[in-house]
Amino acid sequence: MSVFCFGMLSASVSNDTTFHPSMFILLGIPGMQGQHIWIAIPFCSMYILALVSHSTILYIIVTDKALHKPIYLFLCLLSFTELVLCSTTLPKMLAIFWFRSHIISYHGCLTQMFFVHAVFATESAVLLAMAFDRYVAICRPLHYTSILSTTMIGKIGLACRLPFCGHHVIPHTYCEHMGIAKLACASINPNTVYGLTVALSVTGMDVVLIAVSYVMILQAVLRLPSKDAQFRAFSTCGAHICVILVFYIPAFFSFFTHRFGHQVPPRVHIVLANLYLLVPPVLNPLVYGINTKQIRQRICDFFMGRK
């Protein structure tokens, strides 16, 4: 029945070859349409948790001048980018799952694609900046304020159309570059090369630099004389590394599956592609926010009504 309905929707869009269609149809998770209503429940719960936790952290950091320090300002940027990233995809995804609102306009799809990829690259850069902050704090503590001045933080913070024809059904829960490119009549080899180049040169370079930062941090931690200090530093860095892996591994899996993973079941690919948009926004407030003593105390004071 669902296949017939999608066929009717596709036919109703247009059978003519055009430079671009007026709309696309987001299929959701192929092969799991019958479970969409149940899949949406944990997704919605995680989205609400991400909204509440990040909004709380943003409010506390913005209103408390004592927290206007580099690491908290970077955390503020991270919370903002993650709110934008998950809010770009989750509302439409939930509309697909619960209300069968599969149609998205052409311009709406391109706007969503732009924000997904641009904000992902921005968040990758923020994670790199936070790794650099931890490197300076641990390896160059005497130069921390001079290196990460307000001016430097500000600088860090600022730091192709195709013809479509045939079907307009995207077997995904949101619009992303290769999912749209695969609908084109023309060769998508330039898009494939472009996507790989961006993934490897931009986010790939971020991963390399983050790894170098943490290697140097761990070397500095191992030289600490106190075992207790070593344990605290290892626990903090370990939590940070876990969040970074949760962010990058599903993202790179999704990037490379589009190009090379033709044997990967579509449902597995799409579920993992959603994880890097939703799981980090849920975990990061716990790791970077609540795990930080100053923010944890401010959160307790906020909910208990203390000033």
Q: What is the dihedral of CA 113, 243, 33, 192, to 10 degrees?
A: 40
Domain extent, residue 96, equals 32-139+169-304
Alpha-carbon distance of 177 to 160, in angstroms, equals 10
Query: How many domains, the chain?
Result: 1
Name the amino acid, one letter, at 1. M
List the CATH number of the domain containing 277.
1.20.1070.10
For range 194-204, the mean pLDDT: 66
Is the confidence at residue 198, as pLDDT, over 70?
no
Sheet arrangement for strand 23-26: 103-105, 23-26, 169-170
Enter the pTM of the model: 0.76
pLDDT at 14: 44
Query: Residue 289 falls within a domain, yes or no?
Result: yes
Residue 185 located in a structural domain: yes
Q: Is residue 151 part of a domain?
A: no
Q: What does the block give as tokens for 176? A: 């992303």
pLDDT digits (tens, 9 = 90+) for 171-181: 668 777 555 65
Q: pLDDT tens across 142-193, in order? A: 666 677 766 766 666 665 465 556 556 776 687 775 556 555 665 556 655 6
Token pair for residue 278? 């939703």
In this structure, is residue 101 part of a structural domain? Answer: yes
Contacts of 238 (CB under 8 A, 6+ apart): none
Query: Does a structural domain hold residue 3?
Result: no
Confirm whether 218 is domain-assigned. Answer: yes
Q: Is position 42 within any domain?
A: yes
154 located within any domain = no
Q: What is the pLDDT of residues 79-123, one digit of tens each?
A: 999 999 899 999 999 999 999 899 999 888 889 988 888 888 888
46 Cβ neighbours under 8 A, 6+ residues apart: 278, 279, 281, 282
Determine the pLDDT at residue 74. Answer: 87
